[in-house]
Structure 1
């Protein structure tokens, strides 16, 4: 099944996303301008594109695994609702440590126009109907969470 998504270039240099391989889940998002992110900074990287996602779907902005593995750049997850048709921006954190006495730290991350910085995945959504209750159903897990199952397989 192919989802029809309208796309608009907001700048001449914007790159229309495409799938790198036939069965890929995500398309690469490309920076439309240079952005310098110093250690400890968070910046919004523009893509120069806007999309019109059909109702019942969302766009998920996700990290690219190679960037996460090899650099101190962290791409924040993002949701693009079907009602939003503004520019797609990618929120980037530089978690590198600042080096004292350097003008341009080796941990400074420079995103160049044309760099593939994140990926965009489309997914169906289902909205929940909430109704207030006094008690919730009993489950085996109960309120255990946030590491309650341990780290090792035999815990």
Structure 2
């Protein structure tokens, strides 16, 4: 399968897979360098070197500089990179990009660390996965008809949040 992309400005880092068998496509911070020393279109202050600060407890929308042509029946899900999440406490927020979206891809990144974090141009900020998202229609039925199909019978009940841990 081919996933088409384009760069929205010069100096954009190309998304890549570190290894051909990796599930995720690495996404990079690619600022609009014409905004250096000023605020970008998302309200982030970009210093003269293109660095972006994420204050403690804050969240920012990080530009990747790319657009994707996501095929119908798929979505692009932006996920944490394990090193960013586990070691730097930088976690992805809003993450689903629908097939109809035609704009630049942004990464919603939250800083849960106890210090300001600086993102440098070219830093891998997240990974994206192309996932099946089959079209479906919603059909309302009485509650008594939910989970009556033998394929979906379970002893789980309405337990949640670790209810099957034992």
Q: Distance in 2 between matches of 1:92 and 1:129?
A: 32
Q: How far does the alpha carbon of each residue in 1:94-139 deviate from its partner, in whole angstroms, 9 at most, with x for none?
A: 1123xxxxxxxxx101001110111111112113322211222354
1:12-27 map, 5 Å: 12-27=10-25
**CA RMSD of superposed structures (Å):** 1.5
What is the TM-score when the length of structure 2 is the normalising length? 0.78
2:93 equivalent to 1:76:
yes
- Shifted more, 31-40 versus 128-137: the winner is 128-137
Q: Give yes or no for the alignment of 1:129 onto 2:137.
A: yes
Greater share of helix: 2
Give the corresponding residue for 1:100.
Answer: none
Q: What aligned pairs does 1:6-155 form with structure 2 within 5 A after superposition?
A: 6-33=4-31, 34-76=51-93, 78-97=95-114, 107-134=115-142, 135=144, 136-137=146-147, 139-150=154-165, 155=166
CA distance in 1, matches of 2:101, 2:78: 14
The count of residues paired between Structure 1 and Structure 2 equals 140
Flag structure 1 segments of 5+ consecutive residues without an equivalent.
98-106
Q: Which runs of 5+ in 2 are unaligned?
A: 32-50, 149-153
| TM-score, structure 1 normalization | 0.83
Q: Spell out structure 1 runs of 4+ moving beyond 4 A.
A: none
